[in-house]
Amino acid sequence: MKKSNAVFSIARAVLPYLLAVLAAFAAAGVFIALMGFDVFKAYGTILFTSFRTPNGFVQTLLKFVPLVLQALAFTIPLTAGKFNIGGEGQLLVGATAATVVGIVFANLPPVLLIPLVLLAGVLGGALWGLIPGWLLYRFGINEILTTVLLNFVSFNLVNYVCTGPLRDPGAGHPTTLAIGENGWLPMLVNNPPLHSGILLAILVVAVVYYVITRTVSGYELVATGANPRAAGVFGINTRWMFIASLVIAGGVGGLSGALEVAGAQHRLIEGMQHNFLVLGLIIGLIAKGNNLAVPFVAFFISVLEVGASAMQRTLMIPVEMVFIVEALILVFVLLSDLVQKRVS
Amino acid sequence: MNEFWLTIISYAKLILLTIVPFVLAGQGTMLGGRTGIFNVAQEGIMLVGASVGFLVSYLTRSNELGMLAAMLSGGLFGLALAYFTTNLRMDQFVIGLALFFIGIGLSTLLPKIVIGVTLTPPLIPTLKEISIPVLSQIPVIGEIFFKQNALVYFSILLSVGLWWYLYRTQVGMELRAVGENPQAADSLGVNVTRSRYWTAIVGGMLIGLAGAYLPMVYTGTFTENMVKGRGWLAIALTFFGGWKPDTILYGALFFALIEVLAYRVQVLGTAIPYQFLLMLPYLATILVMVFSFRKARVPAFLGQNYDREKRAL
Amino acid sequence: MNAPILLHMRGVSKAFGSTQALDDVSFELRQREIHGLLGGNGAGKTTLMNILFGLYRADAGEIFLNDQPVHITGPKDAITHRINMVHQHFLQVGSFTVLENILIGAPRKNRWNNRYDAEVQKIQSLQERFGLQVPLDALIEDLPMGMRQKVEILKALYRGVQVLILDEPTTNLTPQEVDALFQSLRVMVQEGLSVVFITHKLREVMSVCDRITVLRNGKNVLTLDRQEASEDAFVRAMVGEGMDLSRSVIFAHAGQDLPAPAPVPLLRVEGIVTAPAEGSVALKGISFDVREGEIFGIAGVAGNGQRELAEVVMGLLPVQSGQVFLRDQTLPHPDSRRVLKGDFAYIPEDRLHDGFLPRASVAHNLILGLHRRPPYSNGRVIDWSTVFSRARELIGQYNIKTSGPEDMGGNLSGGNIQRVMVARAFSATAPVLVAHNPTRGLDIPSMDLVYQKMLERKRQGQATLLISEDLDELMLMCDRIGVLYKGELLGIVERGQFEKYTIGQMMSGIRPQA
């Protein structure tokens, strides 16, 4: 009895998502068909590339790492009612810090250099979260614009680092030299290559979930997000919650950058943030800010992203098509919320 | 006239030319905000405006049709925003972000579909300068103010017109009432839904036009993410300008000044790496927010959705 | 004698989600009468009149005006039919002038300028006829509530009105102002208007209305001429059969013979002065104490510093000088952790902004401020199973209508939100309770429960500071009442010397004779 209830309630929670995905695929499918492509072949590629080959699956996991962290960098402050649209700035500054440390201290042994590189990334990102956090704390300035604008600042910073002192003269694209090999993350699987960053990402997911749902600090974060004025009246230091959540989010965003450097690229590359920020926002919003749902949604979006690249390669359909599908899924998830409210 | 003054004149002229995207996007944002609709999709709508405006100009060889198409696409985004927030009463910020995402995707998808990938960027003619007869003959003033492209004149006239509309007419007063207290306006027979729709749509059109200005005046072509945060800056400008047409126009002058400085000083060649100069518009905006954000007078109902049947709790 | 029927609403039903707010309700208004619409909170009075005014759309039912069916789909239609309504929370634009507020949506000869000479003349003549003097170029947000009510009535008169609906119009008035309002209502009726007067106060309808309709739980209970019925009949109609009147605090004054409080001050407030700020009233040297087992009342028209006083006592608002003492210990100030530390409980006036978490569960709401202490937590980790079982108890005890502790706060109605505020405050068992309008939005049985709980605190020797705009409530519950006017405490009246008009005079700023 109890078990079937649980199954039922999970089904009830997942069903709207399924319908939203179907609706988004249907809507975009019309568009794809009008462009003269084979819709079923396209969707087959998008959905199953991740599961056909070991390489596809590993690619998916490699996408999952930055995406889930970017999504958390959005949802952690969202729990406190604050919008962090600065995930990519935090990623880039974290990656820059990790790269600098990885190059300067290239000769340290791995036991020291790996944690140092990651720590540098976390601190760099946290600094990039601290700036809007402090402006909010000190002057009450809306964090949405400051986090967004700092992204553009970080683009120029990365361009400077990649074309300036640490430039790799052999690369055609603005890129730095590689960090010391002692700073590279150990591999979980060598062929196809999968670095151990995924374990760290999963650990972060678990810790965030525990802290927010079980601890007093997590309760205060939720209360702040639910109504900061009331939370403040009943003794919670809401301004502290705001700044702390933005700094932690910045750290998580910075970690995503450090993992890209230490695990995947081993150097700073201009444009390495791809569209992780926007995908992170989409994941966080589809998950409705629920930190438990974030990893599942992030995995699903990773599957779509890996499928999208394959689709562009084999069927010549632009990847942006899938990006629009993802945005449409978000719209339909939001719509399904309304439908549920009307029905109940 | 010596070279110094010629430089000053050319800079002043350039600044006036650069205010256009800020004025159009700022006034578009302000107009929606006056009925409570807080648009945050500017960056995406401007991208679509730039992309569509460029494509239609490219295909039809007519900048006018390009601008029209950009306004149309911006208007569609405004319509979507109005529908989702006014009829479905969805969270304005979240739906704004979703429209922003769709805008990013469409803006790069459309050129890929229509033109495909080319080696050299396809070009469109840029907007011509229009000299106003007589006035353009005035020394200095004429050069700066009356030898500009059509959209410079339009954006200034638009600002004046909006100010007159909002502060000197009955309908403008009623519109402001909707953004302050829609229930009060509704209880006196003002059509809240209609006001929200038309301001969101016209606001979206202006923002779309602001996007089309970039390929049509600055670059002659569309490049990915060419808006470079100007949409977000327009939001900051709207707050800075206190959601008033006149002060938004003045604020746009400041934003344009910073942008001109950032791009021109690097040409002059200085010891500062140019990347740091390019950070200026964003850093200056953050600084401006420190000084103006809390003082800004915002429409009381900004960002909220009106539900006539919602019961007082 | 019987005037013809002007307006008839028949078989009106209206549901909000799963709650049936109105169920087959009928209502008749005669020409030139003042018709009282009486009932507790949640009875459906305002909903019924909002339907007549076109703000709500009825699920079923018809409206007849002069025996002709009319279709009202929005306030615009209502205004066309010369029906207008003054809401309890005035529908005004604070940043606009009085004149602009009156003219929003009004037909004007020249819509393309802002010259208002003709309109001003018309308004001034109305002001003289009905005695509604308000400066037309003042900003609404600068006016006191009494003035703003006049603006609302002017808005209706300006558009031409035959049916004027007033929703709880006496909330923000002194007893003297209430008398003046009743007089001008009489003038209006003589000029040919018909008035619907919504209230939950029996005494008011008895003193001014010609006929009275009682609603309860969204249903018609009865309609009677005032002369035909006794007060008891109306009381019974309002509360229903389910409530034991003989044990109620409100009707039987149960528990009013409790012993006088001990002369030991528990909470002491001394020389409080706060800085003047935009949108708030500065407190000018307030001192009083609340003793063990005492209920100390603060009376006054809303907006005379009540909110500021509550926030000073709770440590939320900084002071320029003065101190708050608990058992002769000076409390650090400002300090928003008074609830967290367990010494204070608080029922804020503005429950939606200051007390409630709409985007968190009912359980989250019930432990707000209590969440760092046992039994709910050990200071670091929340014990959710205890939280949930206690939450279920409170939901039952306070009759909170919700699907359970995990229900989202945002799903609750206003009355149930207030029950959450009340349940949380009383479950804290703190030595000092600051209760600001604790019964606002509650139906009569729930109101009675709040009063019972306050008396229980009294028995246990705890102190209660009851700030209320309802003078009847204060006179029923308090041992002493202090009267607040423009940030000053004009005097403190002892039980036994409570007299409505004396207190009313102090509420309008007249100091008592020494």
Of the candidate ranges B251-255, B268-272, C225-229, the one whose mean pLDDT is the lowest:
B268-272
Give the CB-side neighbour count of residue C115, counting CA atoms within 13 A. Answer: 5
Distance CA C309, CA C318 (A): 11
Which ranges constitute the DSSP H helices of C460-499?
A: 471-477
Q: Is the pLDDT of residue A335 over 80?
A: yes
Q: Which residues face C70 on adjacent strands?
A: C63
The tally of domains found in chain A comes to 2
Domain for residue C503, yes or no?
A: no
- In degrees, rounded to 5, the angle at the alpha carbon of residue A187 between the alpha carbons of residues A186 and A188 is 120
What's the pLDDT at C174? 86
The H or E element spanning position C25 is strand C19-30
Classify C217 in phi/psi space as left (phi over 0), alpha (psi -120 to 50) or beta: left
Q: Is the pLDDT of residue A12 over 70?
A: yes
Residues of B in contact with C148 (CB under 8 A): none
Give the contacts of C500 (CB within 8 A, at least 6 positions apart): C175, C471, C475
Of the candidate ranges C125-139, C147-161, C243-257, C408-422, the one whose mean pLDDT is the lowest:
C243-257
Mean pLDDT of C457-470: 94
Q: Is B243 helix (H, G, I), strand (E, B) or coil?
A: coil
pLDDT 10s digits, C55-75:
999 999 999 999 999 999 999
Q: Which residues face C298 on adjacent strands?
A: C467, C482
Residues of B in contact with A278 (CB under 8 A): 101, 104
What's the pLDDT at B266? 75
User: Which amino acid, residue A219?
Assistant: Y
Q: Phi, psi at residue C299, to the nearest 5°?
A: -105, 160
What's the pLDDT at B233? 96
Give the residue on B whose Cα is nearest the Cα of C82. Answer: B188
Q: Is it true that the peptide bond before C265 is cis, omega within 30 degrees of 0? A: no
Mean pLDDT of C474-487: 94
Touching chains, C (3+ CB pairs < 8 A): A, B
pLDDT 10s digits, C273-315:
999 887 788 999 999 999 999 999 999 988 899 999 999 999 9
Q: Which of A44, A48, A132, A47 is nearest to A86 (CA)?
A: A132
Contact by Cβ (8 Å): B22, B211: no
Mean pLDDT of C465-484: 94
Touching chains, B (3+ CB pairs < 8 A): A, C
Q: Is the pLDDT of residue C338 over 70?
A: yes
Q: Phi, psi at residue B175, to the nearest 5°?
A: -65, -45
Contact by Cβ (8 Å): A280, A71: yes
Of the candidate ranges A336-340, B13-17, B47-51, the one whose mean pLDDT is the lowest:
A336-340
Q: Is B216 helix (H, G, I), strand (E, B) or coil?
A: helix
Give the contacts of C329 (CB within 8 A, at least 6 positions apart): none
Q: Is the pLDDT of residue A172 over 90?
A: no
A257 alpha-carbon distance from chain centroid: 10
Question: Two tokens at B42?
Answer: 């500017």
Domain for residue C291, yes or no?
A: no
Residues of B in contact with A327 (CB under 8 A): 98, 101-102, 105
Q: Is the pLDDT of residue C453 over 90?
A: yes
Q: Which long-range contacts (CB under 8 A, 24 or more apart) does B248-254 make?
A: B248/B23, B248/B26, B248/B27, B248/B30, B248/B159, B249/B19, B249/B23, B249/B156, B249/B159, B251/B22, B251/B26, B252/B19, B252/B22, B252/B23, B252/B26, B253/B15, B253/B19, B254/B288
Residues of C in contact with A229 (CB under 8 A): 353-354
Size of interface A-B (CB pairs under 8 A): 107
Hey, is the C-beta of A13 within 8 angstroms of any chain C C-beta?
no
Query: Do residues A214 and A325 both lie within one domain?
Result: no
Domain for residue C97, yes or no?
A: yes
Distance CA B57, CA A136 (A): 43
Indicate which CATH number applies to the domain containing A194: 1.10.3470
A92, with CB counted inside 10 A (0-12, 13-18, 19+), is: buried
The ranges assigned to domains in chain B are 8-227
Hey, is the C-beta of C353 within 8 angstroms of any chain A C-beta?
yes
DSSP string for A245-289: HHHHHHHHHHHHHHHIIIIIISS-BTTTTTTHHHHHHHHHHHTTT
Percent of chain C with pLDDT over 90: 70
Mean pLDDT of C124-152: 90
The tally of domains found in chain C comes to 1
The 3 state secondary structure assigned to C222-233 is EEEEHHHCCHHH
DSSP state of A189: E
Q: Which of A283, A308, A307 is nearest to A297 (CA)?
A: A283
Tell me the residue length of chain C.
514
**DSSP-derived pairing of the beta strands C60-65 and C488-494:** unpaired
DSSP state of C364: H
Contact by Cβ (8 Å): C46, C198: yes
Residues of B in contact with A83 (CB under 8 A): 93
Report residue A1's pLDDT band, with 50, 70 and 90 as the boundaries.
very low
Percent of chain C with pLDDT over 70: 99
Domain for residue C60, yes or no?
A: yes
Query: Do residues A237 and A332 both lie within one domain?
Result: no
**ipTM confidence score:** 0.94
Residues of A in contact with C360 (CB under 8 A): 222-223, 225-227
Domain for residue A153, yes or no?
A: yes
Contact by Cβ (8 Å): A266, B78: no
Query: Do residues A304 and A330 both lie within one domain?
Result: no
Question: Two tokens at C361?
Answer: 């569960």
Distance CA C447, CA C444 (A): 5
Farthest CA pair distance, chain C: 73
CB contact under 8 A, A226 and C359: yes
Domain for residue C27, yes or no?
A: yes
CB contact under 8 A, B177 and C87: no
Q: Is the pLDDT of residue A286 over 90?
A: yes
Residue from the list A214, A233, A237 with its beta carbon closest to the beta carbon of C316: A233
Tokens 């033109």 belong to B115
Q: Which of residues 18-77 of B touch A (CB under 8 A)?
A: 40
Domain that holds residue C206: 5-251
Mean pLDDT of A12-24: 88
Q: Is the pLDDT of residue C109 over 80?
A: no
Q: Phi, psi at residue A172, to the nearest 5°?
A: -80, -25
pLDDT 10s digits, B193-202:
999 999 999 9
Q: Is the pLDDT of residue A36 over 90?
A: no
Percent of chain B with pLDDT over 90: 80
Distance CA A253, CA A247 (A): 10
Mean pLDDT of B280-308: 89
CB contact under 8 A, C353 and A227: yes
Hey, is the C-beta of C369 within 8 angstroms of any chain A C-beta?
yes
Q: Which residues face C270 on adjacent strands?
A: C323
Residue from the list A281, A324, A335 with its beta carbon closest to the beta carbon of B109: A324
Query: Do residues A107 and A16 both lie within one domain?
Result: no
Query: Do residues A190 and A237 both lie within one domain?
Result: yes
Residue from the list C339, C354, C377 with its beta carbon closest to the beta carbon of A229: C354
Hey, is the C-beta of A342 within 8 angstroms of any chain C C-beta?
no
Query: Do residues A268 and A296 both lie within one domain?
Result: yes
Query: Do residues A106 and A196 both lie within one domain?
Result: yes
Contact by Cβ (8 Å): A46, A311: yes
Report residue B273's pLDDT band, with 50, 70 and 90 as the boundaries.
confident
Of the candidate ranges B12-21, B147-156, C108-117, the one whose mean pLDDT is the lowest:
C108-117
Give the contacts of A121 (CB within 8 A, at least 6 positions apart): A94, A95, A97, A98, A254, A255, A257, A258, A259, A261, A262
Numbered residues of chain C with Cβ closer than 8 Å to any chain B Cβ: 16, 47, 53, 55-57, 74-76, 79, 85, 87-89, 91-96, 100-101, 103-106, 108, 110-114, 155, 351-352, 413-414, 417, 441
Domain for residue A42, yes or no?
A: no
Q: Which of residues 25-64 of C touch A (CB under 8 A)?
A: none
pLDDT 10s digits, C420-429:
999 999 999 8
Query: Do residues A111 and A254 both lie within one domain?
Result: yes
Domain for residue A241, yes or no?
A: yes
Domain for residue C471, yes or no?
A: no
pLDDT 10s digits, C491-505:
999 988 888 889 999
Q: Which of A284, A281, A325 is nearest to B106 (CA)?
A: A325
Indicate which CATH number applies to the domain containing C199: 3.40.50.300
Give the contacts of B199 (CB within 8 A, at least 6 positions apart): B31, B32, B34, B35, B37, B175
**DSSP-derived pairing of the beta strands B147-149 and C480-485:** unpaired
**b/e A112-151 (16+ beta carbons within 10 angstroms → b):** ebbebbbbbbbbbbbbbbbbbbebbbeeebbbbbbbbbbb
Give the contacts of C103 (CB within 8 A, at least 6 positions apart): B170, B173, C116, C119
Which ranges constitute the DSSP H helices of chain A?
A: 2-34, 39-52, 54-79, 87-104, 110-139, 143-163, 197-214, 216-226, 228-233, 238-259, 276-286, 294-315, 320-343
Hey, is the C-beta of A20 within 8 angstroms of any chain B C-beta?
no
Give the residue on C whose Cα is nearest the Cα of B184. Answer: C91
Distance CA C361, CA A213 (A): 12
Q: Which of A35, A4, A17, A60 is nearest to A305 (CA)?
A: A60
Give the contacts of C336 (CB within 8 A, at least 6 positions apart): A232, A233, A234, A235, A237, C314, C315, C316
Contact by Cβ (8 Å): A261, A95: yes
Residue from the list B94, B275, B294 with its beta carbon closest to the beta carbon of A160: B275
Domain that holds residue A27: 1-37+321-344
Tokens 């000044």 belong to B257
Hey, is the C-beta of A146 within 8 angstroms of any chain B C-beta?
yes
Query: Do residues A139 and A236 both lie within one domain?
Result: yes
Straight-line distance from the first to the last Cα atom of chain A, in angstroms, rounded to the nearest whole number: 23
Distance CA C101, CA C97 (A): 6
Mean pLDDT of C141-166: 92
Give the contacts of C471 (CB within 8 A, at least 6 positions apart): C175, C299, C500, C503, C504, C507
Domain for residue A240, yes or no?
A: yes
Give the residue on B whose Cα is nearest the Cα of C109. Answer: B170
More confident residue, B234 or A337: B234
Tokens 């919670």 belong to A236
The 3 state secondary structure assigned to C97-166 is EHHHHHHCCCCCCCCCCCCCHHHHHHHHHHHHHHCCCCCCCCEHHHCCHHHHHHHHHHHHHHCCCCEEEE
pLDDT 10s digits, C19-51:
889 999 999 999 999 999 999 888 999 999 999
Residues of C in contact with B168 (CB under 8 A): 112-114
Q: Is the pLDDT of residue C403 over 60?
A: yes
Mean pLDDT of A256-270: 96
- In degrees, rounded to 5, the angle at the alpha carbon of residue B262 between the alpha carbons of residues B257 and B265 is 105
Contact by Cβ (8 Å): C284, C468: no
Q: Which of C466, C479, C464 is nearest to C432 (CA)?
A: C464
pLDDT 10s digits, A208-217:
999 999 999 9
Mean pLDDT of C349-365: 94
What's the pLDDT at C287? 96
Mean pLDDT of chain C: 92
Output the CA torsion sign for C39, C40, C42, C46: positive
Query: Do residues A325 and A312 both lie within one domain?
Result: no
Domain for residue C38, yes or no?
A: yes
Mean pLDDT of C5-16: 94
Mean pLDDT of chain A: 93
